[in-house]
Structure 1
Amino acid sequence: MSHHDCDVAVIGAGTAGLAAERSARRAGARTLLIDDAFAGTLCASRGCMPSKLLIAAAHAAHAVRTAHEFGIAPGGIAIDGKAVMARVQAERDKFVEATRESISQIPDGICIKARARFTGPTVLALDNGDTVSAKAIVIATGSFPMVPGPFRDLGDLLLTNQTVFEQDGLPDSLAVVGAGPLGVELAQAMARLGVRTALFDQKETAGGATHPDVQKAVHQRLDEDLSLHLGVDLSAERSGDRARLTWTGPETGSDEFDRVLVATGRPPALGGLNLEATGLQLDDHGVPEFDRATLQCGDSPIFLAGDCDADAPVLHEAANEGRIAGSNAAAHPDVKSSERTPCFTITFVDPPLATIGAPPGDDSLVGAASYTDQGRAKVENRAVGLVRIYADPQDGRLTGAELFAPGADHMAHLLAQAVMHGETASGLLELPFYHPTLEEGLKPALREICRNTPSGAPPGGDDDDPPGA
């Protein structure tokens, strides 16, 4: 048993924790990084990367299946589920190894493999018998998959994001419970890989889209690939080697599935930390109250970063929060506020769904554009979806957007930068839009905003586009 003294102790070696430790060390602090596994980040092992590998396989299958629409006869399509999952796992393991390699480069004496619990505001007890005293502590323990009661008795028929990528093949049938970003991504991917798939949610929305027109487009697209059941209550029971799900609500039904993937959310992983010993004010969910501009909990020397604060559970936000929390922990009590980037999320369905910035207010200017007749989208046989762009009514300064359209995962970056830099709709229209591109499809929405600002008509007029734009 040993006692460790440091300036900043970081609990958790995921994306946020690694960023926090690095930031604090660069600020001159003596750091410790405590984790029970050092297994690599959630993104690399069980989130972003394996899910995108599965989605990439689904895109390939869909491209072959629809090739006849271009006059290309593919013959037949045979999906080898074992080969699909073998590639997912092999490439996933390379991403995980890369994160482990970055961990191995942390100087000796900083990483401690153990579980930590608070015994005081700045004192930790580790399950290896060691103790830690720190001037400041960053909690970056991440999140865990929540499994509601009705599904806990399904045994090995139950999948979460912790286990779905460990399967040695694809099931014949799959029920996906939870139509949030992960649920819709994996449901559509599995369906396009030949798995009979049904997607369920108690809410009447899917993928995180907010506007009714965008929701309608998302629902119509998902309906093409799978069986969609929204606004329903579910019960589940094991029936031999299959799971029987029964649903009630706007519709009723019952069906059996080989596997059930539960994607109903990931609450903060704060259990076992003994937060009561910190004296922190906790919210109704047991999460310490904190300032998102500093990541400081009250006026204490404790900071939160990453998914454990239940604020913005996406990788770039976790890395940014880790950086802010680490630098402020090193400087405590002289903490500084940091301007946070606008809300920015992408759900990798086909087409992608992206949201940027703030939702529209009652007086916001709104520009909308359909992609069902957009030139480049038609060329690529991907003419589906729409975009909605929001702006300040006084000057047309962009405040947010919602996109469900081909290329939305790329175009959203342009709009996110525009929101961050205070760009206006007219300012964007002065940029070159190459022809024919998907980006051209943003112009009708931007022009609509311009026509409703005090300055009036958009730059270049309304009819300067080439045919088919």
Structure 2
Amino acid sequence: MNNYDVIVIGGGSGGLTVAAGAAQFGAKVALIEQKSGLGGDCLHYGCVPSKALIAAAKEIHEVRKNGMKHGLEVKGVTDWSVIRNQIQSAVDTIQEHDSTSRFQNLGVDVHHARAVFLDEHHLRLSSGKTIKGKRIVIATGSSPVIPPIENIEQVKVITNESLFYMEHLPERIVMVGGGAIGMEMAQALSRLGSEITVVDHSDMLFKKEDKEIAEKMQKEMEKELTIHLGARVNKLENNQGEITAVIEGEQEKRVGIDALFLAVGRKPNTEKLQLDRAGVELDEEGAVVVNDRLQSSVSHIYAIGDVNGQFPFTHGAGEEGKIAVSNAVFGLKRKMNYENLPWAFYTQPEIFHLGITEEEAKTKLGEDYTVIRASKADRMIAEQDDTSFVKVILDKKGFILGAHGIGANASDWMQILVMMKTNGQKIRELSSIVHPYPARTEIVKQLADQYWRKKLFESNITKLTSKYISVFR
């Protein structure tokens, strides 16, 4: 039997961070991944292929839109096989960095197998081996939820795990779910030529976002997509080979479809691990319950990434991996803090989210906060971009509580606010940072102008300076 200092179950972003970090610090490490390649959902089914798809869809959309704008007629049908090859090329290029051989060269024992717990220290692999670990890190990620839909077997079902490897692009798709995955893919597939109908049970899209941002974004999405809110798809009907989705809401509607895309949420991959043998506690959703040090109910077993249900984004899993390495390998007691972790939706325009929303500020602080907004920076005006918008929530001292943006490349030009919030800098410090004119980041610098306008021109200071100038200058 092989004994390890650290066993990592799952070869995604979080698991690879732990395996590489622990091995480089001298620990004896085993990495278990049931698929033939490392990289996890992000590389094979999520972040990488989806952004490659979005980029291709954006290019096609821009060609058509700008051609029409300038009097050109653009015709033709998208070649899905070409786009699929571009997606695979992006995955293959990044896969080289996440190769099995790279981790083996770091000293990691890589096992491509499934694992189940025998007890709190021992794992049985599908290869037949039994291994033991002083510390174990669970990083098995999550999978798409498949909702109960009557007659679902009669139509092609798509999830993020099958989308990028389809042979053909369906003509008519009903997108069940209007979350991040649903809206990113709905918009991209629509731009590639599919007829997309989005169905979501909520009364509003992007409900976790600041309401002002969500409302702006919903209007943008409605320009390109047919959207039914407060509705569900509970069954499909087959009328002589024509498949229809029955959309149940305020009014019942029927939509002919060629495929059903399921994006209603994700569930933690814990079901097959037999964690009860190790005494690891799960919550009602099947996620591993962890403390702020990422320890499960069994102190030497950690859980990071989607499997713990805390922050379902790849960069969050990477940060949790760093904390897990510190605590599992060195016995430190570092705590995971999510307050300064942003997220973004890579729709067009993009959404950026950091910290609390204005609605959350009202609930937590009453009236003890300030909101500053900015829009229409010169670069955006020059590019006829009338959508870009920034909103920041501040405490009374000018520290950033939340920052929210919408616009082209918002995930890039909002990053300076992440640095400022992380470093505890006040919004006024933006005034001392010079941006090359007319960079898109000027929209963020406008926030400092708004702040000073409120602080100076709406206060008694203006009266004092006016009197000083009239008397002494």
Aligned to 1:194: 193
Note closer, same or farther for the CA distance 1:187–1:277 as it changes in structure 2 (3 Å cut). same
State yes or no: 1:381 paired with 2:381: no
Q: Report what 1:433 is aligned to.
A: 435
The aligned amino acid for 1:398 is: I
TM-score, normalising length: structure 1: 0.89
User: Which of 333, 340, 343 is the aligned partner of 1:342?
Assistant: 340
* Residue in 2 that maps onto 1:462: none
TM-aligned CA deviation for residue 358 of structure 1? 2.7
Percent of aligned positions that are identical = 27
1:301-345 deviation per Cα after TM superposition (whole angstroms, max 9, x unaligned) = 11011111111121111111112213321234x543355561311
Paired positions, count = 452
Partner of 2:373: 368
Looking at structure 2, the residues matched to 206 and 257 of structure 1 have their Cα atoms a distance apart, in angstroms, of 22
Structure 1 residues without counterparts, runs of 5 or longer: 460-469
Give the partner amino acid of 2:371.
Answer: V
Q: Does the 8 Å CA contact 1:32/1:110 hold for their aligned counterparts?
A: yes
CA contact (8 A) 1:366 1:448 kept: no
Cα deviation for residue 438 of structure 1 reads 2.2
Aligned partner of 1:86 in structure 2 is 85
Give me the whole-angstrom Cα distance separating, in 1, the residues matched to 2:193 and 2:441. 32
Corresponding residue number in structure 2 for 1:464: none
| Pair 1:381–1:35, CA change in 2 (3 A) | same
Amino acid at match of 2:334: K
What whole-Å deviation, never above 9, does each CA across 1:207-227 have from its counterpart, x for those lacking one?
455233222211111111110
Counterpart in 2 of 1:467? Answer: none
Q: Is the 8 A contact 1:86 1:168 kept in 2?
A: no
Q: Greater CA deviation, 8-17 or 237-246? A: 237-246
* Cα shift readout 1:260-313 (whole Å, capped 9, x = no counterpart): 111111211001111112223332223332123x21124611101111111112
How many angstroms apart in 1 are the aligned matches of 2:100 and 2:232?
45
C-alpha separation between the residues in 2 aligned to 1:285 and 1:196? 33
Give, as a single letter, the amino acid of the residue that structure 1 aligns with 2:72.
A
Partner residue in 2 for 1:416: 418
Q: 2:63, 2:120 → 1: CA distance? A: 58
Per-residue CA distance 1:98-135 (angstroms, 9 max, x = gap): 42256454456711222111121112122222212211
Structure 1 stretch 107-116 or stretch 163-172: which is displaced more?
107-116
Distance (whole Å) between structure 2 residues aligned to residue 23 and residue 186 of structure 1: 34
Q: Secondary structure of the residue that 1:117 maps to in structure 2?
A: strand
Rounded Cα–Cα distance in structure 1 between residues aligned with 2:54 and 2:150: 25
Unmatched runs of 5 consecutive residues or more in structure 2: 363-367, 462-473
Pair 1:343–1:364, CA change in 2 (3 A): farther
- State the Cα deviation string for residues 127-169 of structure 1 (Å, max 9, x = none): 2222122111111111111110116733561000010111123
**Secondary structure, aligned partner of 2:135:** strand
Kindly tell me: are residues 154 and 454 of structure 1, through their superposed partners in 2, closer, same or farther at Cα, counting changes over 3 Å?
A: farther
Amino acid at match of 1:25: A
Measure the CA separation in 2 of the matches of 1:347 and 1:255: 27
Alpha-carbon distance, 1:77 to partner: 4.6
Displacement of 1:258: 1.1
Instruction: Supply the RMSD in Å over aligned alpha carbons.
Output: 2.6
Partners of 2:234 and 2:246 within 8 A in 1: yes
> Does the 8 Å contact 2:279/2:297 carry over to 1?
no
Q: Distance in 1 between matches of 2:433 and 2:106?
A: 47
Contact 2:398/2:428, CA 8 A, preserved across alignment = yes
SS of structure 2 residue aligned to 1:149:
coil
Task: Tell me what 1:252 maps to.
Answer: 252
Q: Which residue of 1 aligns with 2:184?
A: 185
For residue 186 of structure 1, give the secondary structure of its aligned residue in structure 2.
Answer: helix
Secondary structure at the residue paired with 2:128?
A: coil
In the alignment, the residues of structure 2 paired with residue 91 and residue 156 of structure 1 have an alpha-carbon distance, to the nearest angstrom, of 30
Which residue matches 1:291? Answer: 291
Does the aligned pair in 1 maintain the 2:37–2:100 contact within 8 Å? no
Distance across 2 between alignment mates of 1:87 and 1:220: 31
Q: How does 1:390-469 map to 2 (within 5 A)?
A: 390-393=393-396, 395-452=397-454
Paired residue for 1:112? 111
- Matched position secondary structure for 1:317: helix
Deviation at 1:82, TM superposition (A): 3.0
Deviation at 1:365, TM superposition (A): 1.2
Counterpart residue number, 2:148: 149
Deviation at 1:11, TM superposition (A): 0.9
Letter in 2 for 1:289: V
Q: Which segment drifts farther, 268-277 or 35-44?
A: 35-44
Aligned partners of 2:430 and 2:251: how far apart in 1? Answer: 45
Q: Structure 1: how far apart are the matches of 2:270 and 2:426? A: 42
Distance change in 2, residues 1:275/1:300 (3 Å): same
- Deviations along 1:4-50, one digit per CA (max 9) or x if unpaired, are 21111111111111111122223322111112224232111111111
Give 1:64 deviation, angstroms.
1.0
Instruction: Select which of 343, 349, 353 maps to 1:351.
Output: 349
- 2:237/2:246 contact within 8 Å kept: no
Q: In 2, are the aligned partners of 1:174 and 1:198 still within 8 Å (CA)?
A: yes
**TM-score, normalised relative to structure 2:** 0.88
Name the aligned partner's letter for residue 400 of structure 1: G
